[in-house]
Amino acid sequence: MTGQVKLLDFGIAKLLADESTPARATQLTLEGGSALTPQFAAPEQVTGGAVSTATDIYALGVLFYVLLTGKNPVGEQRAPADLVKAIVETEAPRASDTAASADSSVAQKRAATPDKLGRQLRGDLDTIIRKALKKNPAERYGSVTTLADDLQRYLKHEPISARPDTFTYRVGKFVRRNRLAVALTSVAAMAIIAGVTGTAIQSRTARMQRDIAFRQLARAERMNNFNQFLLTDARASNTPLTVDELLNRAQQIVEHENYSDDPANHVELLISIAEQYSNRNESATQRRLLQEAYEISRRLQNPSTRANAACALGDALVDEAGKDNARAEALIQEGLRELPNDSQYALERAFCLWKGGDVAWQNGNVPKALQLDRSAQNFLSTSKLNSSNLKLRILLESGGESMDSHLSESIAAFQRATVLAHELGYDQTRTAGNLYGTTAWALMRAGRPLEAEQFFRRGMDVFGADQLGAWSLQAYAEALRELGRLNEGADYAQRSYQKAIGGSDKVSIIQSMTVLVRIYLDQGNFSRAETTLTQLEGIMRHALPPEHFWFAMVASERSRLAERQKHLTTALQFADQAVTLDEATIKSGGEGTSFLPAFLYQRATVELQTGQPDKAKGDAERALSMLEASLGKDAFSIYIGQCYMALGRALQIRGEADAAQGDFRAAADQFDKALGPDHPQTRAAKQLAGLVKK
């Protein structure tokens, strides 16, 4: 030691800065960047990149590595190309690993054994050196100061700022060094995984389908045995059993059987029998059986059984009183939650959605009911199991629930149900008879009496005319009246009235008397129409609230009576009253929307006769707009035809002959489809349109 200071390398002469400040190259570093010792060169020097303080940090890291391990991090005696590759791409081994595997002479020079030296370097020193030797300059220490600070912390046994490489970092480096090999390996691995996954999915699907088949087979065998009992063993003697007796015996057998070996099928039988009691309007027995089925199902793990029991009970609990409606809705939601989101449970999900739709409808939430019915049909179409019976029941429910708000959709549902019932061989069943009746009623509301009469007739073929209720008889009478078969219509309206009187059914009494009034007016029997109207008004005042829309109906019929008697001022007053009453009822949230077009048409008819074609045109256009919104622009209906007739007559009075003829042609087309080509209204419209000679 001479005490003289020696300058070793101008390359590291640089202003010191915080690590947070990006290192900038000084003039000395830049000028000395090309003069280098290859074994101590940083990657950016070899590749011609930017040289900065980080370059000098790398050189210090190499020097530090050599001092501690006795070896250069890039190895010894390499060819130039290998040396460049090692500097740029190959990560240096940990200093601790190099020291542990070095000759004992290297360790002895450092007063240690190889293992001891490796242990001494392992940990923070490894981390400090690796940070200084990072290939990316931005990942090294930003200044000599920060490097020195970490060394001081190490000596003081304090936490250092550098952090070991994460697993993700090392993997990323490996991938970049071995792109082709990793890509090929990844493709092979993905192919293997895809193959294994596909096999597993196919195996699982096969097991699911097998389980479904076994479940359905067990259910079918159980139902076959049960049906055999009902058809043969239940009747010990030759005495015939009534339906009620047969149902009671079935209930007793199911309730007392030992079902410990097959509780799921026992629950299904209870649900099935309960449904039969529902059809016979014995709700108390139905609820008791379904409550029993629900309680048993709670002890089972089968999601199908648990869901069916919950949803069936929920639907049975809802009623007009509303006291159990909250629990009914909760049970529907409980049933839906029980079902996994898997196609094998599509049938059960459709069942619960259908029951939920009925609960929503009875709670007055028609939009929700229709949405649930549509969802049920969608799930049913995805089910691996065919259930035409459930599909039929959902269509019947959907048709009934949509009749008031979506009449065209209701008719379409009933028509699909009719086709399905025929395919199932149900043409002469009670289900088909009810279907024909409700379809006929929907067609009547749409103004299609020709089709409605045919469906009414099919219903009577199933039940017999004597077995029809007052409601069905009066609806059939109205269809006959629209078709001009007045005497037949009067006969069925009288039958309806007598049945309603016998059953003290005031609503049916009012409806049947209204049909009789219309028939008497069409027959020209004005005195009898007047008498019946007076009696009808007296009954209504005691049976209906004053804001009920049927008072508007009676006012409209009084307008028709006054019109036929040529009392046009009175006729117009009653027509105005009918429209005003119905609009008030609708505004207050009551029924009556579907009848307003008829009241507007009647007023337009009187306005035409009192020389008010503009008002008549306005009422007819308003009625037509409402009908097209309800039935669809492509629909056909006698009500649409009547509106076109009123429009044509209004235009005719105003001298717009060509436009009037177009409306008459439209009316003729409507009447031809809804009433038939030989109906008087059809012939009259065709004559006005110039389609036939007078």
Does any domain span residue 585? Answer: yes
Mean pLDDT to the nearest integer, 56-85: 78
- Collapsing DSSP to helix, strand or coil, 577 comes out as helix
pLDDT surpassing 90 at residue 424: no
Q: Are residues 481 and 374 in the same domain?
A: no
Q: Are residues 683 and 575 in the same domain?
A: yes
Number of domains in the chain: 5
Greatest mean pLDDT among 87-101, 156-170, 270-284: 87-101
Q: Are residues 218 and 309 in the same domain?
A: yes
Among 227, 298, 225, 312, residue whose Cα is nearest residue 268: 312
pLDDT above 90: percentage of residues in the chain: 28
pLDDT computed for residue 219 by the predictor: 54
Mean pLDDT to the nearest integer, 391-407: 84
Question: What is the rounded distance in angstroms from the CA atom of residue 355 to the CA atom of residue 421?
Answer: 20
Mean pLDDT to the nearest integer, 455-473: 84
- pLDDT tens-place string over residues 198-231: 555 555 555 555 555 545 545 555 554 555 455 4
Which of 201-205, 403-407, 634-638 is the least confident region? 201-205
pLDDT computed for residue 490 by the predictor: 94
Asked whether 150 and 162 are in contact (CB, 8 A), the reply is yes
pLDDT surpassing 70 at residue 12: no
171 vs 36, higher pLDDT:
36
Does any domain span residue 208? Answer: no
Q: Are residues 343 and 415 in the same domain?
A: no
Check residue 143 and give left, alpha or beta (phi > 0: left; psi -120 to 50: alpha).
beta
Does any domain span residue 79? Answer: yes
Asked whether 174 and 164 are in contact (CB, 8 A), the reply is no
Greatest mean pLDDT among 26-30, 345-349, 426-430, 473-477: 473-477
Mean pLDDT to the nearest integer, 119-145: 84
Asked whether 92 and 130 are in contact (CB, 8 A), the reply is yes
Q: Are residues 298 and 331 in the same domain?
A: yes
Does any domain span residue 623? Answer: yes
Give the model's confidence band at 364: pLDDT under 50 very low, under 70 low, under 90 confident, else very high. Answer: confident
Q: Are residues 360 and 497 in the same domain?
A: no
Greatest mean pLDDT among 33-42, 379-388, 680-689: 680-689
Among 499, 504, 574, 495, residue whose Cα is nearest residue 533: 574
Question: What is the rounded distance in angstroms from the CA atom of residue 248 to the CA atom of residue 311?
Answer: 24
φ and ψ at 114, to 5 degrees? -55, -45
Mean pLDDT to the nearest integer, 286-301: 87
What residue spans of 257-345 are helical by DSSP H? 263-279, 283-297, 303-317, 325-338
Domain that holds residue 15: 10-177
Does any domain span residue 125? Answer: yes
Could you say which of 514, 544, 574 is where a domain stops? Answer: 544
pLDDT surpassing 90 at residue 234: no
DSSP letter for 297, please.
H
Q: Are residues 419 and 567 in the same domain?
A: no
Q: Are residues 565 and 595 in the same domain?
A: yes
Asked whether the CA dihedral 575, 576, 577, 579 is positive or negative, the reply is: positive
Question: What is the rounded distance in angstroms from the CA atom of residue 257 to the CA atom of residue 222?
Answer: 13
4 vs 468, higher pLDDT:
468
Q: Are residues 283 and 416 in the same domain?
A: no
User: The tokens of 321 are what?
Assistant: 């009183």
Mean confidence (pLDDT) of the chain: 80
Q: Are residues 240 and 338 in the same domain?
A: yes
What CATH number is given to the structural domain containing 87?
1.10.510.10
Question: What is the rounded distance in angstroms from the CA atom of residue 238 to the CA atom of residue 235?
Answer: 7
User: The tokens of 583 are what?
Assistant: 């609009």
User: The tokens of 545 are what?
Assistant: 């609230």
pLDDT computed for residue 402 by the predictor: 82
Q: Are residues 520 and 560 in the same domain?
A: no
pLDDT computed for residue 669 by the predictor: 95
Mean pLDDT to the nearest integer, 319-332: 79
What CATH number is given to the structural domain containing 297?
1.25.40.10
Does any domain span residue 476? Answer: yes
pLDDT computed for residue 31 by the predictor: 44
221 vs 398, higher pLDDT:
398
pLDDT computed for residue 210 by the predictor: 52
Mean pLDDT to the nearest integer, 664-683: 94
Question: What is the rounded distance in angstroms from the CA atom of residue 619 to the CA atom of residue 627?
Answer: 12
Question: What is the rounded distance in angstroms from the CA atom of residue 304 to the CA atom of residue 625?
Answer: 48
Does any domain span residue 500? Answer: yes
What CATH number is given to the structural domain containing 498?
1.25.40
Could you say which of 524, 544, 564 is where a domain stops? Answer: 544
pLDDT above 70: percentage of residues in the chain: 78
Among 512, 513, 506, 594, residue whose Cα is nearest residue 542: 506
Does any domain span residue 194? Answer: no
294 vs 74, higher pLDDT:
294
- Residue type at position 222: R
Among 52, 242, 218, residue whose Cα is nearest residue 136: 52
483 vs 15, higher pLDDT:
483
Q: Are residues 246 and 140 in the same domain?
A: no
Whole-Å CA distances, 500 to 274, 494, 495, 538: 30, 10, 9, 16
pLDDT surpassing 50 at residue 348: yes
Asked whether 513 and 537 are in contact (CB, 8 A), the reply is no
**Side-chain-facing half-sphere of 200: CA atoms under 13 Å:** 6
Question: What is the rounded distance in angstroms from the CA atom of residue 288 to the CA atom of residue 278?
Answer: 11
Among 320, 293, 326, residue whose Cα is nearest residue 308: 293
